[in-house]
């Protein structure tokens, strides 16, 4: 057994302990013999929680706490708190930027976030990719269009962000001008514009990535002579690194969309034919990822007119190429046997089944004789035409048929209609109905209501009728604002 001669009471000096880093300390122990433990058998005074009545309260007090030396751990805690705050801010700003899906929206978000980080109120970003393929845009924060124009009158070589855009030599340090008004070494025009618009300092930043090179430059403007502290500049640099990568991705997406739209437009008619007795107009909206809806209108022998709309299933370059080939095939078949729409679509069925990789397609072809005001049409899995007039607004009852490519042999009877003078026939793709949102039945009802509500003053113009119908359908419904579907509306108004 251990022979413990006396009890040891340990006193911890709280003040000394508080002076150690991060609250971790070595206690200062004061050992004093307390004699024999006979007091353990003596009667005990009543005890209250945490209080020993046998211990006398000292009348002395320690020195005031404000005279104690500051704990080194507090400095580290402040630094850690600052780092956590910075990381939280970066996380929130990058999350907001990541939610942007369009290049202009991302530039706006980047400009606002940069202004918040460096404590500026105004600024601008000039987006000019160094490969000169576009797009090019200038976006301002807190600056009107006229004020942006005034700033752009300053020679680029006289501004820090302009020198970045022009590829001119720039200072090694931050692109900061702390006193635009008082610095007599600056370009007079730059100082004049700054004085007129009421800003006195600027901080510029190049936008660049390793893969794409220079994308543009941003500059933030201060109302008073100032510059951001070093840690804020570092924070902005970290945010800009992520933002530039995001902008580069959106740039490639924007260019891809532009290329798809260019190819899509090239596959469609450059102009609509002029045929006596009928007025033609088209409303076409291409989906951002590139849609496969198409239309055509061509003059045929003996004053006839061929009208067609259609859609190809699938997506991507192969579907887009199939769209062009189907339209080209339909034009050839329409010239050869356009007076028989069933034969035209039957030939198109064979072409699709034998040569195209897409599984199916819808199409509607109408053979019009404006002099007689008659239309002979046939459809393959396509939406029915709509007639709009003073006395009626109704869908044309077409024979139910499967889309092209779904059957080994396609054939369905044609339908003949006779529009009255002043009536407009609308041929459209199902993208209009899908973008209207909700179920197809309700989308059809919404389209009918929009057509019936065309103002009388607009019914003399086929283009006005088509635009009014599309605008009303897409604005009144649940609407797919992302524009994920093509919209094609081909209008033919008969005299």
Instruction: Choose between 290 and 335: higher pLDDT.
Output: 335
pLDDT in tens, 14-63: 333 333 433 333 333 333 443 444 333 344 444 434 444 444 444 444 44
Predicted pLDDT at 410: 58
Residue 282: beta bridge partners? 490
pLDDT at 386: 95
Strand order in the sheet with 386-388: 278-285, 487-494, 424-428, 386-388, 393-395
Per-residue pLDDT at 261 = 78
Q: Does domain 78-254 correspond to CATH entry 3.30.450.40?
A: yes
Predicted model pTM:
0.67
CATH architecture of 268-494: 4-Layer Sandwich (3.60)
User: What is the average per-residue pLDDT within 138-149?
Assistant: 95
- 3-state DSSP call for residue 173? coil
pLDDT at 407 (0 to 100): 62
Q: Dihedrals φ, ψ of 146, to 5°?
A: -65, -35
* Mean pLDDT (the chain, rounded): 82
Q: Cα dist. 467→118, 219, 294 in Å?
A: 46, 41, 17
For residue 381 the two structure tokens come to 């899995």
Residues 117-140: tens digit of each pLDDT: 999 999 999 999 999 998 999 999
- pLDDT value of position 270: 85
Q: What is the pLDDT of residue 492?
A: 96
How confident is the model at residue 257, as a pLDDT?
82
Average pLDDT rounded to a whole number, residues 387-396: 93
Q: What's the gap between Cα 355 and its chain centre?
A: 37
Backbone φ and ψ of 11, nearest 5°? -105, 135
Q: Give the HSE-up count for residue 213: Cα atoms under 13 Å, Cβ half-sphere.
A: 9
Please state the rounded mean pLDDT for residues 363-385. 92
Q: What is the mean pLDDT of residues 423-428?
A: 96
Residues of CATH 3.30.450.40 domain(s) within the chain?
Answer: 78-254
Tell me the pairing of strands 293-300 and 304-312.
Answer: antiparallel
Does residue 413 contact residue 488 with C-beta atoms inside 8 Å? no
**29 CB neighbour count, 10 Å cutoff:** 11
Contacts of 131 (CB under 8 A, 6+ apart): 212, 213
> Would you state the pLDDT for residue 16?
37
- The boundaries of every CATH 3.60.40.10 domain in the chain are 268-494
């Amino acid at each position: 057994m251990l022979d413990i001669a006396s009890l040891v009471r340990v006193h911890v000096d709280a003040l000394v302990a508080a002076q150690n880093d991060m609250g971790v300390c070595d206690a200062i122990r004061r050992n004093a013999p307390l004699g024999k433990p006979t007091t353990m058998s003596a009667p005990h005074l009543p005890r209250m929680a945490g209080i020993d009545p046998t211990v006398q309260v000292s009348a002395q007090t320690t020195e005031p706490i404000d005279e104690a030396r500051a704990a080194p751990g507090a400095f580290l805690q402040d630094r850690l708190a600052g780092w956590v705050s910075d990381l939280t801010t970066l996380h929130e700003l990058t999350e907001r930027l990541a939610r942007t899906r369009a290049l202009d929206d991302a530039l706006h978000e980047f400009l606002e976030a940069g202004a918040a980080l460096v404590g500026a109120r105004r600024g601008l970003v000039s987006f000019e990719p160094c490969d000169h393929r576009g797009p090019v845009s200038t976006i301002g924060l807190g600056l009107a269009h006229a004020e942006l124009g005034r700033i752009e009158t300053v020679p680029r070589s006289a501004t820090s962000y302009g020198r970045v855009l022009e590829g001119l030599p720039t200072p090694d340090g931050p692109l900061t001008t702390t006193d635009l008004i008082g610095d007599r070494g600056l370009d007079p025009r730059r100082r004049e514009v700054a004085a007129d618009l009421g800003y006195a300092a600027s901080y510029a930043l190049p936008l660049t990535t390793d893969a794409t090179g220079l994308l543009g430059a941003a500059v933030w403007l201060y109302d008073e002579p100032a510059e951001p502290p070093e840690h804020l500049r570092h924070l902005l640099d970290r945010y800009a690194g992520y933002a530039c990568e995001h902008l580069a991705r959106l740039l490639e997406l924007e260019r891809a969309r532009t290329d798809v739209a260019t190819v899509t437009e090239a596959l469609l008619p450059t102009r609509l034919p002029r045929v006596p007795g009928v007025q033609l107009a088209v409303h076409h909206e291409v989906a951002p990822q590139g849609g496969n809806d198409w239309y055509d209108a061509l003059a045929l022998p003996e004053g006839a007119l061929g009208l067609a709309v259609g859609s190809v299933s699938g997506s991507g370059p192969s579907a887009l190429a199939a769209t062009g080939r189907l339209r080209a095939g339909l034009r050839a078949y329409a010239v050869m046997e356009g007076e028989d729409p069933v034969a035209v679509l039957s030939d198109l069925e064979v072409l699709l089944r034998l040569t195209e990789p897409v599984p199916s397609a819808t199409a509607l072809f109408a053979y019009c004789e404006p002099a007689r005001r008659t239309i002979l049409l046939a459809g393959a899995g396509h939406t029915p035409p709509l007639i709009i007039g003073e006395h009626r607004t109704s869908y044309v009852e077409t024979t139910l048929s499967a889309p092209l490519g779904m059957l080994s042999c396609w054939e369905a009877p044609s339908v003949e209609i006779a529009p009255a003078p002043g009536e407009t026939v609308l041929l459209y793709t199902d993208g209009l109905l899908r973008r209207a949102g909700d179920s197809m039945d309700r989308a059809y009802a919404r389209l009918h209501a929009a057509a019936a509500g065309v103002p009388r003053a607009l019914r003399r113009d086929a283009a006005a009728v088509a635009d009014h119908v599309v605008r009303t359908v897409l604005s009144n419904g649940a609407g797919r604002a992302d524009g994920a579907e093509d919209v094609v509306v081909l209008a033919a108004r008969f005299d």
